[in-house]
Amino acid sequence: MTDFLNAIIVIVMILNLFALGTSRIASVIRIVAVQGALLGVVPLLLHWGGGGAPSAAVLLAAGAAIALKGLAIPAIMRRSLRSAAIKREVEPLVGFLPSVLLGAAGTALALVFSGRMGMAASQPGTLIVPASMATVLVGFIILTTRWKAISQVIGYLVLENGIYLFGMLLVEAIPFVVEMGALLDLFVGVFVISIITNHINEAFSSMDTRDLVTLKE
Amino acid sequence: MSGMTLILFAIALSALSGLLPWLLPLPERARQVSTTVLLSAGSLLGLAGIAFSLGETTNTYVSLPWFLPSGAFLADLDGLSAAFLAPVFAIGALGSVYGLGYWKASAHPGNWRRLGLSWGILVAAMALVLVARDAVLFLVAWELMALASWLAATVESDNPEVRRAGWVYLVATHVGTLFLFAMFAFWRSATGSFTLEAAPGLGAAAAGTLFALSLVGFGMKAGLVPLHFWLPGAHANAPSHVSALMSGVMIKLGIYGIFRMSSLLPRPELWYGWTLLGFGALSALAGISWSIAGRDLKRVLAYSSVENMGIIAMGGGLALLGRASGRVDLTLLGMGGALLHVWNHGLFKSLLFLDAGAVIHASGTRNIDRMGALARTMPVSALLFGLGCVAISALPPLNGFVGEWLMYLGFWRSVQGGVVALPAVGAGAAVLAIVGAIALAGFVRVFGTVFLGTARTEPVEGIDRKDPCATMLLPMIALAAACLAIGLLPAPFVGLAGAAAAAWAAMPSEAGSLSALAPTLPLTLAAVVLLALALAIGLLLWRRVGRARLGEARRSAGRRGEARRSAGRRGASVPGGPAAAVPTWDCGYAAPTARMQYTASSFAEFPARSLSVLLHFRREARLPKGALPGPSSFSREAPDPVLDLALRPLFAFASRQLGRAKILQQGQTQMYLAYVLAVTVVLLVWGAGIP
């Protein structure tokens, strides 16, 4: 079971690099959707790995995560993308290839660090800790180097995927309510940001967050 | 019904006085009047409650349900609370009545509601502070008081100067409250409960810490130097009756806090008394020195409040020394004098502030150097202000003397020995005397410049320089009458203050009584003689002036007759009427002007220069030079040493230094996220123990 889990986690890490290297926003949304859906499977695998069948609550949580991250949120974002009539992230702060290299370096560092953090012990043999750190780093790279508001949303989603993965370390300890609450937060957050991006688009006639500097004190 | 219940009802009624009139469909003015009526009714209820509780011997402790998870609604009334509570209700009601004339709804359509509402809440919060016996309840009431007074003091918030002063006040009062939070948290950890009841088991170190914290936290509200810096600005920029309430009552609550805390602690150590006495003496000297250098009438009065708070603190210090050394006489005389001075200062400072409101309204400025001759057109205000000046200068036969007289007795007795002699305390009497002398000079200066001489400016258009309307005059007359009453018949008040002082020291009644220590009969006799003398001299002057005027009128009538005869020959007419007013004879100078009079600044030149240790002047002078001098000018400002010379530069420096950090604020989300990323990476590296 651990091998299967690690395979999924490796795919998640590779998807990170794809997300960094793709300029078409629609493709990035799709990549992040796949990543989110894959992550939704992880808790089920962990439960099977620990013996015993997953409870109804775990099934429900996993189902909700897959439905939200894999379907609902990407749908909202595609809608927002259509109404904003943009396709690509142009002129990011760091180019696409350099950001892929940056992401790869971050992933490598995460693998180095995680061995020394002394907390991988709760899920021995898995790549959960380095992968979550790498995903969080990639989320940050997207957030800090892309200008379009919709790319920012994508950055937050990747960041959240990393945090979600980290939460897998405590999969038995996190109550159902907390998990559902986090999902709801994410959904509402994306929903609101999508609406706001449309308003940014109308107010500044672009979706470039650099224009928001004019709101500075 | 116990007195305590009445007081709680009074608090509720005062708090709601600004709201209840809105339940009825009334015109604006009727709403304003009913606010005042409700507040006055509440205050009378409260005063009745105090009067009832004086005769009560049963337990007055009240416990009500409370909405917060910590603390409790515990209220009680003892002599110390009652002593501070009486001025809250009395001046709260009188000031509200004054406000009816001074702050008419029609003249201030934008903010009279805010003032009415915050006034009621301020009175209620102050009363609640005084009866609260639980730290959480106390802090809630304390904060309510700070906010309500801030709202009331900054009603003219469209004026930037008012906003600035209000900001300083808001920051200062919260810094003080912060110390109170620390104090009560420490109290909780030292005694195990938030209930404020005597804790005889406290260790010396804990008690000392609590006392020091209370000195800073409450000293900020009381305006003890150097924590007074918010006081002059806030008082000068508030409406005059708000200044009266703040200066006459609210800042006393700072003193109450210090007194209350020291009564809860176990037997005080000597250094408590020395510290309070030292800060009191410093405040008294510095306050009156700054007062005499000022030109803004309300700042002058505000600095004089700093001085008077210092005097009260000196009394408290003496009492603490007395308790620490087991001297009943010093305890009673010091605390009795301090409490009497709390009442007295509340009365005459409110009177002066209310009168200053009328004066400022009539002359259109707060600058004393631009006033003058107001006694001619505002005789009643002038008389009342004069009474206030005599009282505040601690001269018999008015009330200011009585409280200070008790303190003088205490200071002298401290030198005489007994169980423990405290010779150095005798210096307190010298400080009191010096302060009294400077205060006298200062108020002679104010009264002379404002009311005597000739007017220095033309009247503001549309404003009569006349005595204000009855709603403004009556509260002032009531205050002046109270000043006179305490001065003439101090016996019952000394008795009450003595009882409160005994309650503060938790002293059995057989230990001694203030009335026995300080016989008031000579005071009454002296006051009656002095009053009779003053009346006789006044009558004599009156008759002389009247006779002189009569003679002058006869002479001028004769002259007019002549003039008319000669004018008739030339066919011109001469206007009739009474004798023409001519300026005072000025040694034959041909073209005298009103600006040649002594001003308040020139009057203050000598005393201010001799006090320059405590004062700092900014002067700009272009003095006349040569045989044919060009235009010359002279101006001198006395900035507040703490606020303007220490705190403002300090904060400006800090602001400049911190301004460098503004380059971090780029306004770009990406940049901020990069900061988060950088911190995360640093923490990761640190957590992994890489370096």
Residue B221 is assigned to a structural domain of this protein: yes
Q: Is residue B107 less than 8 Å (CB to CB) from chain A?
A: no
Q: Is residue B577 less than 8 Å (CB to CB) from chain A?
A: no
Could you tell me how many residues make up chain A? 217
Of B669, B674, B689, the CB nearest to A152: B669
Q: Are B134 and B175 in a shared domain?
A: no
Cβ of B670 within 8 Å of Cβ of A136? The answer is no
pLDDT digits (tens, 9 = 90+) for A141-169: 888 888 888 888 888 889 889 888 888 87
pLDDT of residue B662: 81
Q: Retrieve residue B151's tokens.
A: 């709202």
The answer on pLDDT for B575 being more than 70 is no
B687/chain A closest Cα distance in angstroms: 7
The answer on pLDDT for A188 being more than 90 is no
Residue B67 is assigned to a structural domain of this protein: yes
Average pLDDT over residues B591-618: 80
Task: Categorize the per-residue pLDDT at B516 as very low, low, confident or very high, splitting at 50, 70 and 90.
Answer: confident
* Highest mean pLDDT (candidates A203-217, B507-521, B639-653): B639-653
pLDDT of residue B313: 96
Q: Are B375 and B431 in a shared domain?
A: yes
pLDDT digits (tens, 9 = 90+) for B190-239: 998 999 988 888 889 999 999 999 999 999 999 998 999 999 999 999 99
By 3-state DSSP, what share of chain A in percent is helix, strand and coil, each rounded to 5? 80, 0, 20
β-pair partners for A88: A24
Give the residue on A whose Cα is nearest the Cα of B685.
A113
Single residue among B487, B508, B529 that ends a domain in this structure: B508
Give the residue on A whose Cα is nearest the Cα of B688.
A117
Residue B576 is assigned to a structural domain of this protein: no
Nearest-5° angle of CA A7, CA A12, CA A13? 100
Cα B475 to Cα B354: distance, rounded to the nearest angstrom: 9
The answer on pLDDT for B417 being more than 70 is no
Q: Which of B303-317, B406-420, B560-574, B657-671 is predicted with the least confidence, judged by mean pLDDT?
A: B560-574
**Which residue has tokens 């429900």?**
A60
pLDDT digits (tens, 9 = 90+) for B140-190: 999 999 999 999 999 998 999 999 999 999 999 999 999 999 999 999 999
Q: Are B131 and B175 in a shared domain?
A: no
The answer on pLDDT for B344 being more than 70 is yes
Number of domains in chain B: 3
Task: Categorize the per-residue pLDDT at B348 as very low, low, confident or very high, splitting at 50, 70 and 90.
Answer: very high
Q: Are B151 and B208 in a shared domain?
A: no
Give the residue on B whose Cα is nearest the Cα of A93.
B670
Residue B561 is assigned to a structural domain of this protein: no
Strand B618-622 with B633-637, pairing: antiparallel
pLDDT digits (tens, 9 = 90+) for B97-134: 999 999 999 988 888 999 999 999 999 999 999 999 99
The answer on pLDDT for B279 being more than 90 is yes
pLDDT of residue B421: 56
The answer on pLDDT for B380 being more than 90 is yes
pLDDT of residue B574: 47
pLDDT digits (tens, 9 = 90+) for B254-264: 999 999 999 99
> By residue range, what is the domain housing residue B437?
169-179+203-508
Q: Is residue B671 less than 8 Å (CB to CB) from chain A?
A: yes
Torsion, Cα of A91, A94, A98, A103 (10° steps): -120
The one-letter code for the residue type at B631 is P
pLDDT of residue B582: 67
The answer on pLDDT for B567 being more than 70 is no
pLDDT of residue B573: 45
Q: Does the bond joining B397 to the residue before it have cis omega, within 30 degrees of 0? A: yes
Could you tell me where the DSSP H helices lie in B17-134?
28-55, 79-102, 112-131
Using a CB-CB cut-off of 8 Å, the residues of chain B touching A144 are: 670-671, 673-674, 677
Q: Looking at this predicted complex, what is its ipTM?
A: 0.76
Q: Are B315 and B237 in a shared domain?
A: yes
Residue B135 is assigned to a structural domain of this protein: yes
Question: Best interface-test mutation with B: which of A94, A143, A156 has the largest number of B CBs within 10 A?
Answer: A143
Q: Are B313 and B426 in a shared domain?
A: yes
Q: Are B300 and B387 in a shared domain?
A: yes
Cα B105 to Cα B116: distance, rounded to the nearest angstrom: 10
Residues of A near B (CB-CB distance < 8 A)?
A: 93, 113, 116-117, 133, 136-137, 140, 143-147, 152, 155, 209-210, 212-217
The answer on pLDDT for B506 being more than 60 is yes
Q: Are B361 and B251 in a shared domain?
A: yes
Average pLDDT over residues B15-34: 90
Q: Which of B107-111, B236-240, B591-595, B623-627 is predicted with the least confidence, judged by mean pLDDT?
A: B591-595
Q: Are B117 and B244 in a shared domain?
A: no
Cβ of B668 within 8 Å of Cβ of A209? The answer is yes
Average pLDDT over residues B73-86: 91
Q: Are B120 and B218 in a shared domain?
A: no
pLDDT above 70 coverage of chain B, percent = 93
pLDDT of residue B241: 95
pLDDT of residue B571: 45
Average pLDDT over residues B418-429: 69
Residue B362 is assigned to a structural domain of this protein: yes
Using a CB-CB cut-off of 8 Å, the residues of chain A touching B667 are: 212-217
**Mean pLDDT over all residues of chain B?**
88
Cβ of A216 within 8 Å of Cβ of B689? The answer is no
Single residue among B155, B190, B217 that ends a domain in this structure: B155
Task: Categorize the per-residue pLDDT at B82 as very low, low, confident or very high, splitting at 50, 70 and 90.
Answer: very high
